[in-house]
């Protein structure tokens, strides 16, 4: 029922957008005829949004700004959101608390950043060897995942919504070759979430760093490896200057969801039509962000290889097999730590089995057939 209500809200928002277009055309006719357009009489809301992203970071920070802009347009200015990048109002990893406490009305980040406070949140961002973008969106919108996410965040007075997806990420940048699982022993790597726990189980040391601190740490040898996102962002961050080997695939984050969070009191205080618009715009930016990543990563990867001589390396199959085994063990161990994590993990596994059956006869065989047509130029 909750999912139906959410979809109903999105439908109402779409209807509202269409109505806004009609009203806009009518107002234009009035202006052409010398009549002043009618102003809306509803209450206006001035909100603040804080993010975990560095200023001007494409798709992530610019996605948060796009969300704010589109909300302003769709509400005819009734909701105005001022966006603050990491550190401008609160530190990157304090976004969840700021929204929870009502210091700000909304925030933007990725759910695995709050693992220390809400362990079950990690499943709503990325699971090693888990959902890709299509899978996690299907879980949220059609498989009960969003309702479960709302339940997990409710004690913290937060309403979550999917608001972006990176698609399959890269495996990361390494200062040495990775041939076997033993190469993780003693490795200092910046990697968040459940993927980080797998690396730790393999003998590595996980270092949590916000985006703005990664390059310097990698360059100076404070860390031996890092994952970030994909070629488009990795090129911009200049990691190729600090690490020799660029590994794939991104087993740790096969379809990372980005989130927008609303303080529940602020969200509930809005009229229903404005809540619907927030929900619909979040869904719109969710789609937009995935399209941006898919459109930009290919060209950026080619630039990294052709212009910067990056060593693009696939993780060896035996290593991936070992990592997958460790991931399965890690997920079960993490799920056992609290009832909420166990509940989310079981729901995730159940839906993964459902969509995996279809994927095994649809996406996977199709990409295997066409792979040779899109080989990387070296």
> Using CA atoms, how far apart are residues 173 and 308, in angstroms rounded to an integer?
14
- Please report which residue ranges of 191-271 form alpha helices under DSSP H: 193-201, 214-219, 231-237, 264-268
Residue 25 covered by a domain? no
CATH of the domain at 99: 3.40.190.170
CA distances from 116 to 120, 122, 130, 283 (A): 10, 10, 21, 27
| Per-residue confidence (pLDDT) for residue 356, from 0 to 100 | 82
CATH of the domain at 348: 3.40.190.10
| Strand (E) or helix (H) holding 55 | none
| Per-residue confidence (pLDDT) for residue 375, from 0 to 100 | 66
- Do 157 and 290 belong to one domain? yes
What's the number of domains the chain is made of? Answer: 2
Q: SS3 of 83, please? A: strand
User: Among residues 239, 270, 294, which one ends one of the domains?
Assistant: 294
| Per-residue confidence (pLDDT) for residue 40, from 0 to 100 | 54
What is the DSSP code string of 293-337?
HHHHHHHHHHHHHHHH--EEEEPPHHHHHHHHHHHHHHHHHHHTT
| Per-residue confidence (pLDDT) for residue 361, from 0 to 100 | 87
- Do 289 and 318 belong to one domain? no
User: Among residues 234, 267, 294, which one ends one of the domains?
Assistant: 294
| Per-residue confidence (pLDDT) for residue 374, from 0 to 100 | 65
| Per-residue confidence (pLDDT) for residue 373, from 0 to 100 | 66
Per-residue pLDDT of the chain (378 residues; tens, 9 = 90+): 444 444 444 444 443 443 333 333 333 433 444 444 444 558 999 999 999 998 999 999 999 999 999 999 999 999 999 999 999 999 999 999 999 999 999 999 999 999 999 999 999 999 999 999 999 999 999 999 999 999 999 999 999 999 999 999 999 999 999 999 999 999 999 998 999 999 999 999 999 887 778 999 999 999 999 999 999 999 999 999 999 999 999 999 999 999 999 999 999 999 999 999 999 999 999 999 999 999 999 999 999 999 999 999 999 999 999 999 999 999 999 999 999 999 999 999 999 999 887 888 888 888 888 877 666 666
Residue 32 covered by a domain? no
Contact 345, 331 (CB under 8 A): yes
Residue 202 covered by a domain? yes
- Do 237 and 275 belong to one domain? no
Domain extent, residue 113, equals 7-14+43-165+257-294
């Amino acid at each position: 029922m909750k999912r139906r209500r959410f979809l109903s809200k999105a439908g109402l928002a779409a209807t509202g957008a269409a109505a806004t277009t009609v009203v806009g055309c009518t107002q234009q006719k009035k202006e052409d005829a010398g009549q002043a357009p009618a102003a809306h009489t509803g209450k206006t809301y001035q909100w603040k949004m804080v993010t975990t992203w560095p200023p001007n970071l494409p798709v992530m920070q610019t996605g948060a700004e796009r969300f704010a802009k589109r909300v302003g347009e769709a509400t005819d200015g009734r909701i105005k959101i001022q966006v603050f990048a990491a550190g401008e109002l609160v530190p990157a990893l304090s976004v969840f608390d700021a929204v929870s406490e009502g210091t700000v009305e909304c925030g933007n980040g990725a759910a695995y950043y709050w693992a220390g406070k809400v362990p079950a949140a990690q499943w709503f961002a990325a699971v090693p060897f888990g959902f890709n973008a299509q899978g996690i969106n299907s879980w949220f919108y059609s498989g009960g995942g969003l309702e479960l996410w709302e339940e997990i965040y409710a004690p913290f007075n937060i309403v979550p919504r999917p608001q972006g997806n990176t698609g399959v990420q890269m495996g990361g940048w390494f200062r040495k070759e990775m041939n076997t699982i033993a190469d993780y022993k003693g490795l200092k790597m910046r990697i968040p979430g459940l993927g980080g726990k797998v690396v730790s189980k393999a003998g590595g040391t996980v270092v949590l760093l916000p985006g703005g601190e990664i390059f310097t740490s990698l360059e100076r040898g404070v860390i031996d490896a890092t994952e970030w996102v994909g070629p488009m962002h990795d090129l911009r961050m200049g990691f190729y200057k600090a690490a020799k080997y660029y590994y794939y695939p991104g087993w740790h984050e096969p379809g990372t969801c980005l989130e927008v969070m609303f303080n529940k009191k602020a969200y509930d205080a809005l009229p229903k039509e404005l809540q619907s618009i927030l929900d619909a715009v979040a869904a719109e930016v969710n789609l937009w962000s995935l399209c941006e990543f898919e459109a930009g990563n290919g060209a950026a990867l080619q630039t990294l290889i052709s212009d910067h001589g990056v060593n693009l390396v696939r993780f060896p199959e035996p290593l991936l097999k070992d990592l997958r085994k460790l991931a399965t063990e890690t997920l079960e161990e993490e799920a056992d730590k609290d009832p909420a994590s166990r509940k989310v993990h079981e729901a995730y596994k159940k839906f993964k089995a459902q969509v995996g059956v279809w994927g095994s006869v649809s996406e996977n065989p199709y990409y295997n057939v066409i792979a040779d047509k899109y080989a990387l130029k070296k």
